[in-house]
Amino acid sequence: MRITVIGCGYLGAVHAACMAELGHEVLGIDVDRAKVGLLAAGRAPFYEPGLPELLTSAGATGRLEFTTDITRAADADVHFIAVGTPQKKGEYAADLSYVDAAVTALAPHLKPGALVVGKSTVPVGTARRLAGIVKAAQPEAELAWNPEFLREGFAVEDTLRPDRIVYGVAEGAGGERAKTQLDAVYATALGNETPLVVTGYETAELVKVSANAFLATKISFINAIAEIADVTGADVTKIADAIGYDARIGRRFLNAGLGFGGGCLPKDIRAFQARAGELGADQALTFLREVDQINMRRRVRAVDLTRELLDGSLLGKKVAVLGLAFKPESDDVRDSPSLDVASQLRAQGARVVAYDPQAVENAKRLRPELDYAASSAEAAADADAVVLLTEWKEFRELDPAAFGAVVGEQRILDGRNCLDPEQWRAAGWRYRALGRP
């Protein structure tokens, strides 16, 4: 198939490279010249494991190109919309201006029989509205909604081998045709018996936000239990293990700690509430407000615990921050709980020196006022306390004895419950964590 991918961010760049890898002819389109320049040169504009290799291998086949020129979309059969839908400034709703701009720019170039496929996370009702724009410009074109479930850090794997595929299509013959085209796009995954759900626009849109709302709720549930563990001396990690053995509950997404962040979960649960309000069904999702509040309290708790570790005051203390990305294996600092805690510690008087294996450059752009180091040892040199905020493998594997020799004081806050407290205490550390005695 001849495919375009409009929007080459964390989602679009990976989707473009994977579609080329699967044998399609792909044109990635983005308004950002610098990003297009890097991708065209076979370089990833952000950290995502496996993406550089894919850009090189797919680029070498001649099947993967990048451009800023939307008119070049005219030849393609299928157009994926993969632009961002960030939270609007000052409100909960999603900002759809990038989606609208992409579809409006594309519409005049659609050929008869072309298919526009939305991948961005949008409020329910958006696909039907955009289908109107597509039809008005090219009556013989169709629109489908095909939500993306990829996780950053595993984006290549999730795109090449998705755990399910969802198509939201129009009623009638147009929808049938859209399904046939999407089946051709996803032939490899469907051939491997990937579950497929074919449904209408509204259901497909809601699948995505429901999945993210559920994941956010699961994380906040265990973090709420962590609050109770904190006041009772119980260990939330053991609770998660024990309830996770129940197949109905499952252990995944029950890691208590600093909570969720990133470009998806926080803004998606807010946009979902905003949309429910517009639809007159706000009561259905009031619990997501609580989910959000539990999540934000984790950050306050981490700052409070660090102050406790430092005997009551952050003023003038050197705090080494390990981890800035919203999760490991990513350089993404959008709504990162780690970066937020680092900033709060500094705002309350600590001298913060932060290190992250990949996210330092992005963090510097958002928080130039923090000090940054090039390694965990450099960040921790003579520190009064260490706070581990993103559970990168290299932090999980730190040797407590060797690391103890670097710091000024052996005090550590394990913000992700990813270290073995016994081992660290045995090496002389004062160890604190969220939801663990």
Cβ of residue 393: shortest distance to ligand UDX, in angstroms? 14
Least CB distance from residue 389 to ligand UDX, whole Å? 10
| CB closer to ligand UDX out of 175 and 415 | 415
Token digits of residue 58: 């797919």
Closest CB to ligand UDX among 209 and 412? 209
Q: Closer CB to ligand UDX, residue 85 or residue 212? A: 212
**What is the closest distance, in whole angstroms, from the C-beta atom of residue 13 to ligand UDX in the complex?**
14
Contacts of 199 (CB under 8 A, 6+ apart): 166, 167, 168, 169, 207
Q: Rounded to the nearest whole angstrom, what is the least distance from the CB of residue 259 to ligand UDX in the complex?
A: 5
* Distance between CA atoms of residues 52 and 43, nearest Å: 6
Neighbours of 40 (CB within 10 A): 16
At closest approach, how far in Å is the CB of 74 from ligand UDX?
30
Q: Which of 227, 364, 398 is nearest to 296 (CA)?
A: 227
> Which residue number, 142 or 329, has a Cβ lying nearer to ligand UDX?
329
We find the least distance from the C-beta atom of residue 136 to ligand UDX, in angstroms, to be 30
- The single residue listed with the structure tokens 């992250």 is 356
Q: Which is nearer to ligand UDX, 291 or 412 (CB)?
A: 291
For ligand UDX, the binding residues (CB under 6 A) are 148-152, 212, 215, 219, 253-255, 257, 259-262, 264-265, 326-327
418 is catalytic: no
CA 149, CA 185: separation in Å to the nearest integer?
A: 17
Q: How far is the CB of 123 from ligand UDX (least distance, A)?
A: 16
Choice among 8, 18, 264, 418 that is catalytic = 264
* 33 vs 248, beta carbon nearer ligand UDX: 248
Q: How many CA atoms lie within 13 A of 436 on its CB side?
A: 22
**Residue number, 4 or 212, with CB nearest to ligand UDX:** 212
**Residue 184 is which amino acid?**
A
Distance between CA atoms of residues 259 and 433, nearest Å? 13
Residues 6+ apart with CB under 8 A from 285: 213, 272, 273, 276
Residues making up the chain, counted from first to last:
437
DSSP line for 113-137:
T-EEEE-S---TTHHHHHHHHHHHH
First-residue to last-residue Cα distance in the chain: 57
Task: Please provide the DSSP assignment of 320-363 as one string.
Answer: EEE--SSSTT----TT-HHHHHHHHHHHTT-EEEEE-TTTHHHH
Extract long-range pairs of 47-50: CB within 8 Å, 24+ residues apart.
47/329, 47/330, 47/331, 47/358, 47/359, 48/10, 48/13, 48/14, 48/152, 48/153, 48/155, 48/156, 48/330, 49/153, 49/154, 49/156, 49/329, 50/155, 50/156, 50/157
Residue number with CB closer to ligand UDX (73 or 226): 226
Q: For the CB of residue 288, give the shortest distance to ligand UDX in the complex, in Å.
A: 15
Cα three-residue angle 60-14-94, rounded to 5 degrees: 150
- List the structure tokens of 128: 């039907």
Active site members: 264
